[in-house]
Structures are given as structure tokens and as C-alpha cells.
Amino acid sequence: MGQSTNAMLMYGYHLGSGDGGWELQGLGEYGELPKLDWYDDDFQSAAERKLLADIAGFTEEWSSGSEGYFDRERAAKARVSVKVASHCSGDYPMYVLATKVITVYRGDVKEIDPTQDLAVQPDWDDKLRTALDTLGLNPTQEQARWLLCSYWI
């Protein structure tokens, strides 16, 4: 079993993490997140559930025999149009709220056409702002931008 390292290019906001320091305004005295009604111990999953419920109206939970669940979930994620992507490491993840994520896995090469692959769509910033408002988060980063991240698994 070896180590895997990936490069990730994302358009959005760096949110940071509890382990590496949150990149958000309004933190507590010790750098902790403000009180968020949706947050539990798993930031990424909790944020995704909140976005799916509030933006896409998807509150269904998977259970055995849930025919078509993953198709409905995929459709809801497409309506949300943003994701909380993790980077840094599997054991100590940091987060980016992103509209686009390009991942290059260890040993691979991906050709990037800047005019196509990096063209910021007119609605991306609005979608990111809606997601931030839904989550009650205010990043220290002033505006969305392209962020190059690494991920060590």
C-alpha cells in the first residue's frame, strides 16, 4: 500500500478546517466555527446535507430498497451546482466550496484548455454566494477564484 498524491484545481472559496485553521470570518475566541444549526462532527457531509435540503429540496436518506435513490441524489447535486471538496490529506482534510473541481491523480497528466476548462461561467459566483448564505459562512477570501490544491491520501 503506497501513498497517493493528487493535484486539484478548484474555482471557489477556501474554507480551511478545524485542524488547519478556518478561513472564515466570525470565528470564536479559539478559532472555532460559530454556532451553525446544521454542523455536526463531519463538516463536509453536514454541509452537503444542508445544501441538498435547502437549495435542492432533497432530504431523502438512503436505506436498503431505496430504488432510484442515487439517481435522485445525483439530480439534486446537479441542482445545487456547488460542492464542498476536500484537499490536504485524508486524515486532516481542509475544504473548498467550489463550482468546478479538476483533479489530476498521481501519475496522470491532464491537458487543460484555459479557454474552455477555466472559463468562469456567469452564474458561478451567484451559486457560490447562495451556498455560502445557506451555510451561514463568510470566508476571509474576498471573492471566488481559482485555487490549486494538493491532496495526500
> pLDDT tens-digit profile of 72-130?
999 999 999 999 999 998 889 999 999 999 999 988 999 999 999 999 999 999 999 99
Helices and strands (DSSP H and E) totals, the chain: 4, 5
| Whole-number average pLDDT of the chain | 93
Domain that holds residue 123: 5-152
Cβ neighbours of residue 13 closer than 8 Å, sequence gap 6 or more: 23, 96, 97, 98, 128, 132, 139, 141, 144
User: 61-75 burial string, b = 16+ CB within 10 Å, else e?
Assistant: eeeeeeeeeeeebee
3-state secondary structure of 11: strand
pLDDT tier, 71 (very low <50, low <70, confident <90, very high otherwise): very high
Report the domain count for the chain: 1
Contact 8, 101 (CB under 8 A): yes
* CA-to-CA separations, 96 to 17, 32, 105, in angstroms, rounded: 9, 17, 18
Length of the chain: 153
Question: CA–CA separation, 109 vs 96, rounded Å?
Answer: 23
The grid coordinates of residue 72 equal 435522485
User: What pLDDT score does 147 carry?
Assistant: 98
Mean pLDDT of 15-35: 93
Mean pLDDT of 31-59: 94
User: What pLDDT score does 67 carry?
Assistant: 86
Question: CA–CA separation, 131 vs 55, rounded Å?
Answer: 8
